[in-house]
Amino acid sequence: MNLELTNPHSVLAALKRRPQDVLEVRLSGGKLTEAWRQVSDMAKECGVAVTESAASGSRTDRSKSGGGRQGRLMASVRSLESMDPSDLFAQVRDQEGVPGLWLALDCVQDPHNLGAVFRSAAFFGVRGVLLTRDRSAPLSAVVYDVASGGMESVPFSSPPNLDRALKVARDAGLWILGAAEEASRDVSEVPRDRPWLLVLGNEETGLRRLTRENCDDVCRITSHGAVGSLNISAAGAVLMAQLSATSQAAPSGESAD
């Protein structure tokens, strides 16, 4: 599937990691931002077609393009392929017992939340993301653009059955940690001496029953103010920040000493 990406940082990340999958860059006339100028230069270096059209100042043209010059700046990029769960967790088997952090998403349905989670996952060094194929937001251009390049650096798997995939993760050596507001233990109390697969639930209903039953432990983020809960993307970022602090002994793609 081809995606029309409008975030230059998403396009730059794709050009750096897989330029063969960037099919075309389309630019309007007029002055480019620094990020889009980098996209144009890198695309040309990689042999990617760059199409530049004259800018039009008419209100009709701006309306058709989605509002303003920026609406006509985009790139056509092939979507990434989902991995098999066993391949996603192969590193766990290779580095038995080494702390690390993986992520699972149980029916996250808002594409903006999904993209924000992938961006945080890339920032905090998450090794891989497992997400449900059904009842989840598709990995659309919105997700890629909100992730701002995060999709390119975090491998993912979207199997038809999350419960089976969680069992694959456990068999590989991961401990399954669910996030739930009603959990008795704060995330700060979670042991850091093991590799964790953190599971985030749906925006409204949280973890499904079978998903929770597959968890070895559950944790919460304790509120210290008037609001008792966080948006899933914000909660995910807090949890990843806490759990990744001691999980970087062997960064993705490298071997532990």
Q: pLDDT at position 53, please? A: 84
Residue with tokens 């010059």: 69
The answer to whether the CB of 93 falls within 8 A of the CB of 172 is yes
Superfamily of domain 85-244: SPOUT methyltransferase, trefoil knot domain (3.40.1280.10)
What is the pTM for the complete model shown?
0.87
pLDDT digits (tens, 9 = 90+) for 235-252: 999 999 999 875 554 444
- Locate the domains of the chain by residue range: 2-78, 85-244
Q: What is 2-78's CATH topology?
A: 60s Ribosomal Protein L30; Chain: A; (3.30.1330)
pLDDT digits (tens, 9 = 90+) for 73-105: 999 999 999 999 999 999 887 776 678 999 999
Provide the phi-psi class of 97: left if phi over 0, else alpha when psi is between -120 and 50, else beta.
left
